Structure 1
Amino acid sequence: MPEDDPFFITDGFRASVLVTAVETLQGYINTYDNLSSFPEIFLPILGLLREISEQKNMPNALRDKFKDVAELLKLKVDEHLALRRPLRMRKQKPVPIRLLNPKFEENYIKGRDYDPDRARAEERKLKRQVKREAKGAARELRKDNYFLLEVKDKERALMQKARAEKYGKTKAFLQEQEHAFKSGQLGKGRKRSR
């Protein structure tokens, strides 16, 4: 329908829009009634509902609908406000700092474990031993890697030396051939003029 259609200014259309709005609002109230911020969201709407229901030209059925939704909203808001507790400081005693009396050994030996709990001392000893063994294993692996690298480097150097020798021999042979060709010993080269 076009915007300037006379249907949009009729009382029936206006009433149907109000009914739809109030029923949608009622659905929102029922959906969001478990939110802790419910009163802050819906209290401003309560005043509008009461204003609209007090209009003079409002049909009685629509006025009753508005009043029912306003009462439902007021009831839910009151329930939420009744369940709220004011914030207050807790009165609790501060937890005291645990004090340990130092224990001094007469004949202290560095490295010895003086823990009275034997199981805990044994566990610490085993952990130290595992750590020491892991360090030793890592050290051995590093040594093996260094040794393997040295062997590979030696092999690589020998291969490069052999390759350089072969290259040198081949180059010398080719230079000899070139010299022989230029001097006329191999046929088609130019002959020396004497």
Structure 2
Amino acid sequence: MSEVLTTDMDRDALNNDGFRLSVISSTAVLLEQFSAVYDNYPSYLEIFSPIKCQCGKLPVNNYPESLQKQIQRLVNNITEGMETQRKPLVMQKKKPPPLKMFEPKIEEVFDDRKKRKGGSKEINEKQKLVHKYKKEMKGAIREIRKDSYMIAQVQFQEQQEKYASFFLLTLTVLLLLSMGYKIKWL
């Protein structure tokens, strides 16, 4: 700003009361227009309450009558805008309907190899027995696998215990030999 206002005459022009009053008048006009634009916004109270507070601090008694009326009109507009009731937030009375989505229709493919109901009663009975036999066989094989796995685990544990006792005996013999003891084997 110092570059723009290089002369003393320009600085004196900005320091006079006429310039200050014109700036206040222009500001009041702009604030009235903003108040009219933002009148329907829910945040009107939060935006314009600090402006109303600052307008109350102005030394209006020292201003010309036209500027006093302009500032009073601005304060009245802001006060009227603040008096409008706000609607509180409430939950919806019912659930919103879900959006319609495009989901593909999936139809099951018919496979007649699995289910053959045709034939006589004897054939159907025989097929049921074969199916039951296969099912039981699979269950028996599963049980045999479980049993053999458990037997293998038990045998492995017994072998580990045997090796552990043998290892402990060997370690003891080596320790005694290293200490200078003589061992007689039976």
TM-score, normalized by length of structure 1? Answer: 0.42
Higher RCO structure, 1 or 2 (CA under 8 Å, sep 6+): 2
